[in-house]
Structure 1
């Protein structure tokens, strides 16, 4: 059982989420008002589902406000079809997105994939000079300065760092990090890599290299 927070101004969507997720044994907190989210104990949730198009405060703004308080994957529920909207959401710290309308099987697969990732056992640290990934705590450092990566950005870095110097395609990274059944496209991986690389550069570290026409490799 997982504790899931869903925020959507459409009560019909919340009802649908309840039928699917509660039936699967999850503890669902469903809110139709995004303004109520910031008063919650966000650290207790295992997964957060956010609608994008909401009055007053949209999902993008809500994600920006709560990302540092949420130690769980954030997945957007979006009716927007433009790729730049999904890219923008990932840039704010979201981990994934599901396009509306979605079916029960699709939602279950997406939720299950993220929860599996959260429950994987992690026991070690990866060090490369001043660059360090604390795998157990999911924290990244350049010297004494912490690099604030999202969960997916960290897992992309972790995967590459476990195979330093080896080049992986976007498809290989997607399968290793998100699972073979992930429904996001390979462009999503490019966004996560770009975001992670920018954060490392902000602290003076170059850790991921693009191998044009092939993919990416860890070079720290």
Structure 2
């Protein structure tokens, strides 16, 4: 399942898109205008379908405005068929375009192809609800607000998040994060977890649960 943003000033078109993609178990958020969208929330989407011709702001201009904020595929929906129009759209930062009117199978094929490519290419991110791990920069965000974790806190969080639901003892966490030959006391893990919880709580999240008598897990 992917989370998809669809923007088109034609309500009937949005209903059609949503009904088509829901059959593939995708979650689709629909807007008739980009103006109503909080740009800070754009990173939560796996793919954006964007109409080109809209009254308040055209799709090409909007794509240029948001391209540096999102790295997901952007597919234009356009009635324009001139090569110059298509080139302008791709230069603005779009990944693909579908000309209107389009068939159900064409829309599904284009969307699924881009989602498959993203799944192959994007190994640097881990999304768990409102929480996003940027594995390349080793940072964590809640609704795109950075959580101020120390290096050790981040490594513990990443370990648990990557194995969501699996329970680890303090000793296991210590060994997997710090290594077998590092001197220290595994009880320090309890203090790290306490600090991690406090920092996530500032963002109204509490992802780490205690399994009494055993250890911790990411819920």
Q: What TM-score results when the alignment is normalised by the length of structure 1? A: 0.54
- Name the structure 2 match of 1:83: 83
Cα 1:27/1:122, change in 2 over 3 Å: closer
Cα 1:39/1:119, change in 2 over 3 Å: closer
- Name the structure 1 match of 2:165: none
Cα 1:119/1:79, change in 2 over 3 Å: same
- Tell which structure's C-alpha radius of gyration is larger: 2
Q: What TM-score results when the alignment is normalised by the length of structure 2? A: 0.55
- Name the structure 1 match of 2:34: 34
Deviation by residue 1:154-192 (Cα, 9 ceiling, x = unmatched): xxxxxxxxxxxxxxxxxxxxxxxxxxxxxxxxxxxxxxx
Note if 1:51 corresponds to 2:77: no
Deviation by residue 1:25-52 (Cα, 9 ceiling, x = unmatched): 0010100012122445111100000000
Deviation by residue 1:65-104 (Cα, 9 ceiling, x = unmatched): 1111112000000001111111001111110000000011
Q: How many residues align?
A: 126
Q: Say if 2:39 and 2:66, in contact at 8 Å, map to a contact too.
A: no
RMSD: 1.9
| Cα distance in structure 2, aligned partners of 1:100 and 1:37 | 24
- Name the structure 2 match of 1:180: none
Q: Say if 1:38 and 1:66, in contact at 8 Å, map to a contact too.
A: no
Q: Say if 1:46 and 1:73, in contact at 8 Å, map to a contact too.
A: yes
| Cα distance in structure 2, aligned partners of 1:99 and 1:2 | 22
- Name the structure 1 match of 2:3: 3
